[in-house]
């Protein structure tokens, strides 16, 4: 099964690179078939990473200590509830969770805009796949969750006591969903800048995903003190992780962005209404 998981990550990396190239080539050459191939790459990435996610999650649930990640973060005495959540208690599993959620929400964005914003979407897809390429590159070459030990240890080290918190099941998925949702407005903004599309249509779409990001982060911050205690535990469990303490300030920043997007849409609607009410003689 580890071979399947490792192969899935390699194929996922190749899929992101192909999707980036197909989207950019199709957008620059006006080739709709290549643009569609880039869009389908996002769906393929989500499916492939789902395979890798299931393989690693099954290894944790089944106490397969041949996996280094499982041996370092679970044990025979770890309850099933915590074994199911122990995957994202490790750095490797956390990266896999991040890119998996990124692929899922990117697929949702591509599906919702399948018949809209034809000029912007290819560039937005390329940006999203660029994020996916970065994380899959890290997983393939630097932090693979499918490295094995032979012979396998009889028991594992167990989950870090600081992470034995019921909120462990929801905190990382909520937090990472908030982060990954926020990449979608960024991707559409990049596409709008490249194509010089400054109308309200793409802003309306970006606002929805920014709102989803804000909801996840705000809910994550509101479920204190348990999640805040878990955030501190994350920082102590593996200090290089800088992510959890940023949920509150990032939620505030997204709230400000939402206000700006709503104001921009309102201003455009008011301007359009004023222009429609004006007659040629009124400007004399």
Under the banding of pLDDT at 50, 70 and 90, the label for residue 244 is very low
Query: Mean pLDDT throughout 7-21?
Result: 96
Average pLDDT, the chain: 81
The contacts of residue 204 (CB under 8 Å, 6+ apart) are 265
Give the pLDDT score at 284.
43
Task: Taking residues 150-162, report their average pLDDT.
Answer: 82
* Angle, alpha carbons 174-178-183 (nearest 5°): 145
* pLDDT for res 168: 76
Domain boundary assignment for the chain: 2-268
Question: 132-141, 176-185, 198-207: lowest mean pLDDT where?
Answer: 198-207
Strand partners, 67: 148
Q: What percent of the chain has pLDDT over 70?
A: 78
Average pLDDT over residues 173-186: 89
Cα separations in angstroms, 116 against 119, 144, 238? 9, 37, 42
Other CB atoms within 10 A of residue 279 CB: 7
- Residue 272 pLDDT: 56
233: number of Cβ within 10 Å: 20
């Amino acid at each position: 099964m580890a071979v399947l998981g490792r192969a899935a990550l390699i194929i996922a990396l190749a899929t992101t690179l192909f999707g980036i190239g197909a989207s950019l080539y199709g957008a620059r050459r006006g080739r709709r078939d290549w643009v569609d191939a880039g869009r389908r790459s996002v769906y393929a990435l989500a499916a492939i990473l789902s395979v890798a996610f299931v393989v690693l999650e099954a290894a944790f649930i089944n106490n397969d200590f041949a996996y280094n990640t499982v041996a370092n973060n679970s044990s025979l005495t770890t309850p099933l509830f915590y074994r199911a959540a122990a995957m994202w208690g490790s750095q490797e599993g956390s990266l896999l969770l991040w890119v998996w959620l990124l692929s899922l929400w990117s697929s949702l964005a591509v599906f919702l805009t399948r018949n809209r914003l034809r000029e912007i979407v290819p560039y937005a897809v390329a940006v999203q796949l660029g994020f996916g390429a970065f994380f899959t590159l890290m997983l393939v070459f630097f932090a693979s969750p499918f490295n094995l030990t032979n012979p396998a240890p009889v028991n594992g080290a167990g989950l870090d006591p600081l992470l034995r918190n019921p909120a462990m099941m929801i905190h990382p998925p909520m937090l990472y969903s908030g982060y990954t949702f926020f990449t979608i407005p960024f991707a559409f903004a990049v596409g709008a800048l490249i194509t010089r599309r400054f109308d309200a249509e793409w802003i309306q779409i970006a606002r929805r995903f920014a709102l989803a990001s804000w909801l996840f982060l705000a809910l994550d911050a509101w479920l204190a003190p348990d999640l805040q205690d878990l955030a501190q535990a994350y920082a102590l469990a593996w200090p290089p992780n800088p992510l959890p303490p940023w949920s509150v300030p990032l939620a505030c920043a997204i709230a400000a962005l939402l206000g700006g997007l709503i104001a921009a849409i309102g201003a455009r609607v008011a301007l359009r209404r004023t222009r429609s009410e004006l007659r040629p003689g009124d400007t004399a």
